Amino acid sequence: MNIIATLGSASLIIAFSCTVFSLAASLIYFRTQINIFLSLARHSIIATAMLISFSLLVMAYALLSNDFSIAHVASVSSKNMEPWMKWASIYSGQSGSLLFWTWALSLFLAMFSLKTLPKIHWGAPHAIVVMALLLSAFLIPLIFFTSPFTVSTITPEDGRGLNPLLVDRGMLVHPPALLSGLVSTSIPFTLAMSALMSGRLDSSWIQHARSWALLSFLILSVGNFLGAWWAYTVLGWGGYWGWDPVENSAILPLLPIAAFLHSQTVQLRRGIFKGWNLSLVLAAFALAVFGTFNVRSGLVASVHSFAQSDIGPYFLGLLGVISFISIALLCLRWNSLKPDRDLDSLLSKETGLVLNTYILMAITLVILGGTLFPIFSELIQGVRITVGPPFFNETTGPLWIVLLIVMSIGIMLPWRKTTRNSILKRVSIPLIISITTAFFLFILGIRNYIVLLTLLSAEMVLLVTLREFFLGGKVQQSISDQPLFLSILKLFETNQHRYGGYLVHIGVALIAIAIISSYTFQAQTRQTMLPGESFNISGYQIKYEELFESKPGINGVSKEILAKVEIDGKRLIYPGQRLFTNFPNQPVAIVAIDGNPLRDVYVFLQGWTDEGMIELHVFVNPLIQLLWFGGIIYVVGAILAYTPSTRSQETVRHGKIDAR
């Protein structure tokens, strides 16, 4: 008997028993209304999290102690792996990633039980029922179908090692961030379900769901950015987003969450769009479960296919149940979701915010359609049709532009109502500046109207958002009599949510500029070269000096083939390929980047011969670093929006709602 495996399995089984007990206790509370049962149910959720955490620690121990009798350890780890890299072994492979998913879910639900549950007396038992059912739904496959603690009949001498694509430092943070982000959508979902089940359909659930949705938005965004960074620096194709089905699954829940964050302010202020807000968070969680199904179903081939297995149908069933219950509850409560009041005018911030959410949902539907179409075509026609990046670029591109335009106008609109003249007055200067810039770009030779429109609308967003900072700073300056710059910084103290959100908008505009510039003006070439030869691309001289190899001897790497490349006779870079002992047909690129804020010279070693001849694939990506810079601003903004400011904490303490 393997004690480690038994401990891990036993803790999962006891965790499952705790969720069943929690479910039973909350159902008894419904009948008896005796508070002790509610307390027991709540504490059982926390106990479940502790037990799953223990099983994760057991798995970490098994990996660190090279216990290859456990099948998961043998399949994703090896003796020569560095200890810190074994963190990635936990969530690589099917059963490991499911263990991580369930662990993250249990932690979020435990935090919710500790922090929020005591504040929602109207829906606490309903929330516990939802949480217990969710935990059970993920513990069942972990215990009965794909246990990470399964013991092999034969214990190998050494493990197979980590999937080569995961042998990267970025992999220590990207999958955990993304999986946690997907899982975190379960909290707004639990709150929405509690509201629907209890019939408490006013704004009570939103007051709590907002901060959890912001957290979800933040983690999902970080996960997606890290994924883009990983793709750019590891996959060697000069880009960061390939509309891979699993990439799509990661961005899909983010869109309704972003939509909810805009739409919920309208409900808090005006008591309208109640059904829409509920639908958005229910859709976000359903899409997160869809992502889990998509990665594990084996139905889609992807660079993320290391987690495939045959438990796809289970998740498909789970997705069906979640969607059915969500829709059924919404239909049952529809009559109670009537607006408290109507719009004062179509020319108002309310309209801008809601239009924003409509566009985000249209983008969600289009991406979902494109992601599902290959499976659908195979089911109907028996032929799998590939939906390539051009489809997604062409169909979502115009929608992103409309979104940017609505963002820029929406920021300028006041709540309740305004006049056309007032809008024109506010819009005129940013619009004139943006059109002038677009005109100059046209004269400079940019004739692609999509590029011009994107740059124009992104510049509009930048200008109107900076204007808001300037105007807010001016008001602050008149109160505090400080310099303008300090007054603008002070805005984050007085209204962190609002100005944090505006920073996110600035990040989005910068990202849009980076995407369209790097995509449209990218230069690339492929050259076969001998040592000493050189060529030019976009004004840069690329000279190949020599080919050499190194033998790191860790993390399953057998050797690294590296080319010494000189750029403009000054800077040296070393593109190469990493070869793995146990994965001879799966070399991984070592991408070399010579970067500055204006452009990246991105060099990938495509192939080589023993005689020293190499094939280099070189890209010049203009303004790509603006993407990462915009991403940092976006994330900082999201953190500021999430972190409650002193003022808003006081507002909550006094029982008021900070509706920003």
Partner 1 sequence: MHANLARNRLIHALIAICVFFLMQSTVFAQTTNNHEEQALSIEKQLLCPQCTNERLDICSIQICIDMRKEIREQLQNGRNSDEIIFYFQNRYGQRVLADLPRSGFNIVLFGWVLTSIALVTLGGGYTLFRLNQKTNIDRN
607 lies in the binding site for partner 1 (CB under 8 A) = yes
Which position among 2, 17, 152, 302 is part of the footprint of partner 1 (CB under 8 A)? 302
Map residue 238 onto helix, strand or coil. Answer: coil
- Which residue, among 167, 162, 164, has the nearest Cα to 76 in the 3D structure? 162
Identity of the residue, 302 or 323, whose beta carbon is nearer to partner 1 in the bound complex: 302
Element (H, E) at 268: helix 254-270
Among 8, 223, 238, 575, binds partner 1 (CB under 8 A): 238
* 244 binds partner 1 per the rule CB under 8 A: yes
Which residue number, 3 or 380, has a Cβ lying nearer to partner 1? 380
Q: Pick from 93, 236, 501, 507: which binds partner 1 (CB under 8 A)? A: 236
Choice between 244 and 459, CB closer to partner 1? 244
Stretch that binds partner 1, among 107-115, 210-218, 335-343, 558-566 (CB under 8 A): 335-343
C-beta of 170 vs 607, nearer to partner 1:
607
| Distance, CA of 73 to CA of 96 (rounded, Å) | 9
Among 170, 298, 389, 397, binds partner 1 (CB under 8 A): 389
Strands of the sheet with 592-596, listed across from one edge: 523-529, 614-622, 599-608, 592-596
256 touches partner 1 (CB under 8 A): no
DSSP letters spanning 324-377: HHHHHHHHHHGGGG--SS--S-SSSHHHHHHHHHHHHHHHHHHHHHHHHHHHHH
Q: ∠ CA 368-327-97 to the nearest 5 degrees? A: 55
Number of residues forming the site for partner 1 (CB under 8 A): 53
Lookup: tokens for 151: 């013991």
Q: What is the largest CA-CA distance in the chain?
A: 84
Q: Give per-residue burial for 155-179: e unless 16+ CB within 10 Å, then b.
A: eeeebbbbbbbbbbebbebbbbbbb
Nearer to partner 1 by Cβ, of 387 and 515: the residue is 387
Q: Which of 141, 142, 4 is nearest to 67 (CA)?
A: 4
Does residue 381 belong to the site contacting partner 1 (CB under 8 A)?
A: yes
- In the list 32, 345, 428, 448, the residue contacting partner 1 (rule: CB under 8 A) is 345
415 counts as binding partner 1 under rule CB under 8 A: no
168 binds partner 1, rule: CB under 8 A: no
* 237 interacts with partner 1 by CB under 8 A: yes
Is residue 387 within the footprint of partner 1 (CB under 8 A)?
A: yes
Region label for 338, one of left (φ > 0), alpha (ψ between -120 and 50) or beta (otherwise): beta
Should residue 339 be labelled a site residue for partner 1 when binding is judged by CB under 8 A? yes
Residues 534-593 touching partner 1, rule: CB under 8 A, are 589
Residue 547 CB, nearest approach to partner 1 (Å): 17
Closest contact distance (angstroms) between CB of 575 and partner 1 is: 13
**Under 8 Å CB-to-CB from 218, ≥6 apart: which residues?**
635, 638, 639, 642
The first and second tokens of residue 84, run together, are 């810190």
Q: Per the structure block, which two tokens stand in for 635? A: 């994330």
* In the complex, minimum distance from the CB of residue 275 to partner 1, in angstroms, rounded to a whole number: 10
Of positions 1, 3, 331, 380, contacts partner 1 by CB under 8 A: 380
Query: 3-class DSSP state for residue 406?
Result: helix
CB-nearer residue toward partner 1: 387 or 462: 387
Q: Which lies closer to partner 1 via its Cβ, residue 364 or residue 645?
A: 364
Give the H/E segment covering residue 550.
Answer: strand 540-550
Query: Please, which residue, 229 or 391, has the CB nearer to partner 1?
Result: 391
For partner 1, the closer of residues 27 and 537 by Cβ is 537
Of 237 and 540, CB closest to partner 1: 237
Cα R_g (the chain), whole angstroms: 27
Positions in 612-631 near partner 1 (CB under 8 A):
617
User: Which two tokens mark 252?
Assistant: 């899909």
Element (H, E) at 526: strand 523-529
Distances (CA, A) of 532 to 102, 569, 572, 583, 613: 54, 12, 14, 32, 10
Binding part of the chain for partner 1, among 5-13, 128-136, 222-230, 367-375 by CB under 8 A, reads: 367-375
Under the rule (CB under 8 A), what is the footprint of partner 1? Answer: 236-239, 242-245, 272, 300-303, 339, 342-346, 351, 354-355, 358-359, 361-362, 365-366, 369-370, 373, 376-377, 380-381, 383-391, 395, 399, 524-526, 589, 606-607, 617
